[in-house]
Structure 1
Amino acid sequence: MLRILVVLALLLAKPVVAQDRAFVLQAPATLVETGFLKHLLPRFSLKTGIRISVSAQTGDARLGDDGTPVFQQGDTVWRFASSGDADANVFEAWLLSDVGKRTIEAYAPNGNALFSSDVTETVVIATVASSGDLALGEETSLTQCGRCHVVNETNRMNAIGSTPSFALMRTFPDWQARFETFFMLRPHAAFTQVIDVTEPFPEHLPSPIVPIEVTVEEVEAITAYVGSIAPANLGSPIQIQ
């Protein structure tokens, strides 16, 4: 973002010399054939004085599937990658500016907008079904994790209030990865041993509390049990007036 702001500042501060400023943009035929670039590039050149030639083979910059996300076409996110050409960097900054975004959104042949400047990407984390023993998972969770966490209603009054409950952690997008590797995450690594997996505590760094000792089977069972818990209902976001 800082680089983009600097580029825009330099663009506004210096006089435009159109005949000295140009670069070649590599773009695939599928994008060129939409007519979008014939809408986009002349408007950029009119604003900045930088001419852009389009090539299907090579260029100083390219639109494709790698680089900075700049616009979206249906389910396809188009990305911009530059070899470092100064004028290409100005184009990237313009695409991400408010003016560039409005220009992208304005391309609507027959009244249908084909491209969007919203390139927010949703990260989908797959949840793999666990075959762990649910009964064992609940028992181990209450015995080992219930010292600090609320596992379910049976230990609600015995846990530490400052630690997140299992139901709350179940709302985390990466809950499964967290539970499968909890023994490696802070602060658990300091006092947790997985039999035949983790190294013994160093003699000069003993566990600060009575150690938690579990087997691989019990870790799998805990994860399976958490997967069976309904995520906590966190309600609607707070509206600040």
Structure 2
Amino acid sequence: MRFVLLCLSLTLSATPSWSQEALGLAAPDEISDSGLLQHILPRFSLKTGIRVVADENGVMSLVLSPPGDPVFARDGVIYHLRTTDAPKQTRFREWLLSDIGKRTVENFAPADGATFSARFDVAVAEKTQEVDGDAALGQDLSMTHCGRCHVIGPQNRMNGLGSTPSFAVLRAMPDWSERFQAFFALNPHPAFTQIEGVTEPFPPERPSPIHPVEMTLTDLDAILAFVAALSAADLGAPLQLQ
């Protein structure tokens, strides 16, 4: 009898607990209506014991454009997953980007419309972008707000943090414009950045850990104009493994 009870105890302890609070995932109507979430979310939960449910107010979201990780595509539209660094959200992101997650997406057969693809190349074309901001003002604002961490140019080349890329390196990236336009939503910036009319005020119980970066959309346009005029760093040829 004791052996039976012990086996039963071990079996129960190895079974995922479903009493934990579920993580919500918001998605466009075309994704929710397709049935894809009803296909992939229970499979992830069964595999990990982490409950993820469709929720229009969820902490995670599937969106049509960056920032976020491109996770699958349908009819030429690429959907991106936005998460925070919370461990359970990171686990879901890693699963969806894994071979198992990709196969789970591609094994779904919708009742109507095209199937989903989880294996694709995200082609980012370099565009000639017209920026209306004041580049000179943007340089001053970049030094004031960003120079504490990033190397902006020769004037502060010895003052940036080694763990943060310089503006020249960021300018060399194909999606540099998207990165700068949405920088306030990309970690670690949300913790200390306020954009007038865009971001919510800091909660009283969670103030900025450092002197906050406060700017307007006009200021952001000026910084974009400054970065657009920068010479991109030469990052060399991609590494090739033999």
TM-score, normalization by structure 1: 0.48
Choose 1 or 2 for highest CA Rg: 1
TM-score, normalization by structure 2: 0.48
